[in-house]
Structure 1
Amino acid sequence: MGTIWHPTLNSEQGPKYKAVVASIRNGIETGTLKVGDKLPPVRELAWKLSITPGTVARAYTILTEEGALQAEVGRGTFVARPLPVDPSDMPIEIDVIPHSAEEDGNPYHVSLFSPHLPCVGQDKLIRHLMAQVAQDPPSGVMHYPSRDSARPAREAVIRWLEGTPLGPLRERDIVLSHGGQNGISLILQTILRGGRPTVLIEELAYPGFRRAAELLRADIVPVAMDDDGIIPQALDAAARAHDAQVLCTSPEVHNPTGGFTPVARREEIARLAQKHDFQIVEDDCYRMGVNRAPSYRMLAPGRGWYVSSIAKTISPSLRFGFAIAPEGKSSALRRTAEHGFFGLATPLSDVCALLLQHPQIDQLTEATRKAFNAYVQSAVNILGAYDLVWRPDVPFLWLRLPMGWRAGAFCQAAEAEGIQIRTAEEFVCREARAPHAVRMAINAGVSLQSFEAAMTRLRLLLDSPPEQLSV
């Protein structure tokens, strides 16, 4: 061995193989065992310690996998040279005050089309994990994606969704997708049958529902809603009249109004799904806090499909999302994905598996939520005198315009002031009448000062509608 090493076993360390591991680690840490020193053969050390050779072999294997030891065929087992510190293993500094870059270098121009996440440290973590995967990709770089290679990412999603009321959930129920929109498309491809199937949506709805349905040549029927979401009586009539196959809805964070569908209303909708034999697709991509009610996957067993992503909580750049099938339908959803694109690129699924299980990921997402909330509070302080719908953990605002403003004219006036916002027309079917309202996403990619300045310019517009200006 080149050194005098007297192994000892501590009976208080539990199983004997763990005691052997601890003894060798102690020898390395104290310098008794140095880099390159050869450890005794398995049988020799087992005899000295009065334990079985299998116990010693297990300890050697654990330390070899950790990188503390190095096994060389025909030569024996040696103390390995310490690996260089990987930056991905280092703690990520979470920024209490997010760092942001002004879009296009011009703080006057602020896009409120889509939420823009603040950088609170997740950007550094993603880069570190990408470097780690590049050095040693767990899934390799020479194979097609497979169910086995994506399993760590699916298991990471299970961990990520801990506490979400989804009912019984196994990793095989999850299908990875290229963001939430791709997840919606996969589910509709799996569900819809016939030449002209019917898809029901809320009368104000996320445009991606319509786009996914149109790609599948489905008819889209809007259903009337109130402040609690879809009105059950209207849903009953629409499902009966159109023989609908699926309802697409966003009950936790309604897009664009920011509304919430309470449990009693969801239970009524679940009963109607059973009565009329249609499926329910739940889009949960915008939720940043805890669930306030059970999902349709729990309330409507066998009918509830769930979609989410990390775009609004960690980063949209990775395009990592997931669709979850009801019990008994995961195989069909999995086939749809595999027949469409085989699976996510293995380096992407490897990075996301590490990302969602990183010990600091919960702190980072909480820091993101708090940063968003600071922007929301500023917007409310400036625009709160108007009919503004907001929630502290939702990254957009819904503004019903005052008398004298129409949505199209208001958006044009805002754009002239360097601010881009979405009109209510973008969230209704083509032939439907839209309310005079706009959706403003929170852009935490610009400084809070630039954002507040944009809100102030919007307030000045609201204070002076065209009718008053023309007097």
Structure 2
Amino acid sequence: MNDKFWRPQTLNLDKPLYIAIADAVEKDIRSGVLKPGQKLPPQRELADSIGVNLSTITRAFRECEIRGLIFGTVGRGTYIAPDVHVPVAMNSARNTEQELVEMGLILPLYNIDEKNASEIGSILQTTDLAPLLRYSEPSGLLHHRAAGSEWINRYGLSTTPHDILVTSGSQNALACCLMALFNSGDRIAVDAFTYPGIKTLASMLGIRLVPIEMDESGMNPAALAVACRRDNIRGVFLMPEVQNPTTVALSDLRREELAALIKKHDLVLIEDESYGFIGRLAQTALSSLVPEHGIYIAGISKLLGAGLRISFIAVPERFRNHLEKAILNTVWMASPINAEIVSRLLISDKANTIIQAKRQEARARMELAVAKLSSYTTYSRPEGFFFWMLLPNGWTGREFELAAQAKGVKIFCAEKFMVGNKRPFPAVRVSLTGPETQADLNRGLDVLVSILSNHHGEAEMIF
């Protein structure tokens, strides 16, 4: 069907017209009439063809955006989102008919975490648990915030315990930031490929994500400047040291350029460094360059254990009360017992020992992967938990994901991470920490190589 002549065949007139039109778009997407990346007619033409006001189509398209069905590009039109048929949630169910090699989810290296379980047991045995069983203030107990402050300051920030809030993991921290500091309809700039967790949160809250072009140094400042002028951007979400999914690190110059834009346009910076400990250990947080604008999220789950569900966030004074209320209204408080365990590990030398153990294991796994995939274009970090692989021409990420799944390997396609690109992109993110053992990893990599070796073509460069 020619995109210029698409129009809904039927409308449910028992609903408001704009909802009925959005429902029709969704129905035609599900049935295959409208395809990922397909361009929709201009709003005025569509309004004329249906016989409704332009404002009705505008509201319908806004509803479709909130549902994640479409995206618009100024000067180019409106397109069906490339990920409409792709489950965005990271914890998608396993195939019940076969045991998949998990190379989609980035896990914290459970084998190392389990070795540290005895250390956690010792902490619990030597701790007076009674005070930790009581309600505490939403910001967290003072000595927990002090431990978080000391930990965060290793990344170039100058925080005090007063600047720190304790949350139930990084996803809770992100949810609190979006709920407390933004309103439905607000726009947040993100990398063109970004963490799916912020995609699902933004969609649920009616917040619009604006994709910004990337290159080998990270988010493009010139593109961000254009978006700030054009789209009334209110915030920016970045993973500066180890970007998920591309593994790119912001260069020092790029950090300075982005910091200048953040200050110029009074943006709220949400800096998520869940994987910072597998990047440069001497890194300097972008938030340190914009102390009145930056919220720094120090995720602990990938470092010390997913079950602990603790993150520390460094918060400027002007945002503190808003975020405390968000914590109160979501979880009331992070678990003081979990925060105690994390704090004790951080202030001892145990955390550094765990970092080194995980980096060493990740390096061994990455060396194995790089050797296996030497004929293909990959982006990675020496001690990375995952890599980004460009696929030869002829593949889309989704097609390759499904081909790998059919062979017993779970990976994640580029479409899961895309924001606003008008066509599916030929790339996949591959986790090296999902497999339980290096033997499992080796088996999964062999499957990927087998699929690739039966397909010839050059990769399309992302940068």
Matched, 1:363 2:353: yes
Displacement of 1:439 after TM fit?
0.2
Gapped runs of 5+ residues in structure 2? 1-93, 458-463
Displacement of 1:108 after TM fit?
7.2
Name the residue aligned to 1:159: 150
1:342-363 C-alpha deviation (Å, 9 max, x unpaired): 2112222222222222332211
Q: TM-score, normalised by structure 2?
A: 0.72
Name the residue aligned to 2:423: 433
- Aligned mates of 2:374, 2:259 — CA distance in 1: 36
What is the identity, as a one-letter code, of the residue corresponding to 1:190? A
Q: Which residues in structure 2 correspond to 1:142-291 (within 5 Å)? A: 142-146=133-137, 150-166=141-157, 168-193=158-183, 195-289=184-278, 290-291=280-281
Name the residue aligned to 1:65: none
Larger-Rg structure? 1
Name the residue aligned to 2:370: 380
What is the identity, as a one-letter code, of the residue corresponding to 1:448? Q
Could you tell which deviates more after superposition, 405-414 or 393-402?
Answer: 405-414
- Aligned mates of 1:148, 1:276 — CA distance in 2: 29
Matched, 1:393 2:383: yes
- With over 3 angstroms needed to count, the CA separation of the structure-2 counterparts of 1:190 and 1:438, relative to structure 1, is same
- Aligned mates of 1:271, 1:281 — CA distance in 2: 15
Kept after mapping to 1: 8 A contact 2:144/2:339: yes
Name the residue aligned to 2:304: 314
1:82-102 C-alpha deviation (Å, 9 max, x unpaired): xxxxxxxxxxxxxxxxxxxxx
Displacement of 1:250 after TM fit?
1.2
Displacement of 1:131 after TM fit?
6.1
1:384-430 C-alpha deviation (Å, 9 max, x unpaired): 21011111122101000012322222111111221000000000136
- Aligned mates of 2:98, 2:432 — CA distance in 1: 15
- With over 3 angstroms needed to count, the CA separation of the structure-2 counterparts of 1:250 and 1:141, relative to structure 1, is closer
- Aligned mates of 2:261, 2:139 — CA distance in 1: 38
What is the identity, as a one-letter code, of the residue corresponding to 2:446? T
Question: 4+ residue stretches of structure 1 with deviation over 6 A?
Answer: none
- Aligned mates of 2:215, 2:169 — CA distance in 1: 29
- Aligned mates of 1:395, 1:459 — CA distance in 2: 19
Kept after mapping to 2: 8 A contact 1:252/1:291: no
Displacement of 1:259 after TM fit?
0.6
What is the identity, as a one-letter code, of the residue corresponding to 1:262? S
Kept after mapping to 2: 8 A contact 1:107/1:446: no
SS in 1 for 2:165: strand
Displacement of 1:451 after TM fit?
1.0
**How many residue pairs were aligned?**
362
Name the residue aligned to 1:64: none
Kept after mapping to 2: 8 A contact 1:307/1:323: yes
What is the identity, as a one-letter code, of the residue corresponding to 2:109? P
- Aligned mates of 1:234, 1:409 — CA distance in 2: 30
What is the identity, as a one-letter code, of the residue corresponding to 1:241? R
What is the identity, as a one-letter code, of the residue corresponding to 2:437? S
Kept after mapping to 2: 8 A contact 1:263/1:293: no
- Aligned mates of 1:431, 1:122 — CA distance in 2: 38
- Aligned mates of 1:425, 1:457 — CA distance in 2: 21
Q: TM-score, normalised by structure 1?
A: 0.71
SS in 1 for 2:359: helix
1:197-254 C-alpha deviation (Å, 9 max, x unpaired): 1111111111122222223221221111212111111111111112111011111111
Gapped runs of 5+ residues in structure 1? 1-102
Kept after mapping to 2: 8 A contact 1:108/1:450: no
SS in 2 for 1:161: helix
- With over 3 angstroms needed to count, the CA separation of the structure-2 counterparts of 1:383 and 1:287, relative to structure 1, is same
